[in-house]
Amino acid sequence: MSITNLADVASSALRSSFVEAADVVLEEGKSALMGLAAASIVPLLAKSSASFLAAFALACLKAFTDSDESQRIIRKRLELICSEPLLTGLEQLRTADASLVVSQEQEHFRRTTYRAALENFQRAHSFAAPTDKPYIWVLRAATALRIEGGEPEAELMLIQFYEYAEKARTEMLASVPGLKRQEEDLTAEANRLKPDGKGAGLFMGSGLALTDLALDWHERGDLFRRATACRAKWKEAEEKAEEWLAAAECARSLTQVLAKTREVLEAGGPAPNTRPQPDGTAGAAPHG
């Protein structure tokens, strides 16, 4: 499926990063992961929430910063007031992710750079069109997960993305029946024509019958082409709906993992597993 807008970029990045991160922490492995229901995945991921969320954030941010297609869309379609902070934030992410951390000063620089990127994404969100906001929601969520104390913003952004994904899926599925009816009507109309050329020889001299026959064949071919186009559209809509469903499930699972982690911390317990360090490795989990 070709990617034509920023919402598609966000959906693809979220889905692939979720699977990649889950595969990092689940003993079952990726093949087993794909067969698990969402309700079964969340408790497993919550047991290693810090490692899972860190792996998700890193994979997701890499997907965004490596995507030449998304940056082409940003430069071509977005107003400067929105594209400038987005592109600046993406460049800041590259700087933060490329930074080596061997001292407290370097760690502070990386954290500061992540915060600056998040501020740019927040600014871009204020000027973004509704169809571009899913891209910024996922960007903000992944960036916030790289900042200490950023989990509440990440959870809020993922909730908003989930709601958008559910709406997008519903709209895609709603278009399918009408497109199928159009395909059936066009095909039926084309089959009714069925030019056979009988009697054409009677008017061969004038060419009238041959002209009519040619026009019939041309019209029939056009009807079949239009029917084929309708078929391609409803198939694409069904595929898109499946993609949005998967993206919505991933976003919901992420918010549930964040919620479970928050509940543990609010109860005074240790965060599950370990807390990711600025370089992406794991360190001691904070308490309370």
CA distances 205 to 51, 199, 202, 211, 216, Å, are 83, 12, 8, 12, 19
Segment 102-107 shows an average pLDDT of 85
What are all long-range contacts of 218-227, with beta carbons under 8 Å and residues at least 24 apart? 219/193, 220/190, 220/193, 220/194, 220/195, 223/186, 223/187, 223/189, 223/190, 223/193, 224/186, 224/187, 224/190, 226/182, 226/186, 227/182, 227/183, 227/186, 227/187, 227/190
pLDDT confidence bin for 280, thresholds 50/70/90: very low
pLDDT higher at 202 or 50: 50
Q: pLDDT by residue (tens digit) across 93-103?
A: 999 988 777 78
Q: In one letter, which amino acid is 117?
A: A
Segment 246-267 shows an average pLDDT of 88
Longest Cα separation, the chain: 97
pLDDT at 53: 94
Structure token pair of residue 269: 């317990």
Name the least confident of 49-53, 101-105, 206-210.
206-210
Strands 282-283 and 275-276 come out as: antiparallel
Contact (Cβ atoms closer than 8 angstroms) between residue 275 and residue 285: yes
The answer, yes or no, to whether residue 265 has pLDDT greater than 80, is: no
Q: pLDDT by residue (tens digit) across 10-43?
A: 999 999 999 899 888 886 555 455 555 555 778 8
Whole-angstrom Cα distance, residue 128 to residue 72? Answer: 16
The answer, yes or no, to whether residue 147 has pLDDT greater than 70, is: yes
The answer, yes or no, to whether residue 75 has pLDDT greater than 60, is: yes
CA 190 distance to own-chain centroid: 38
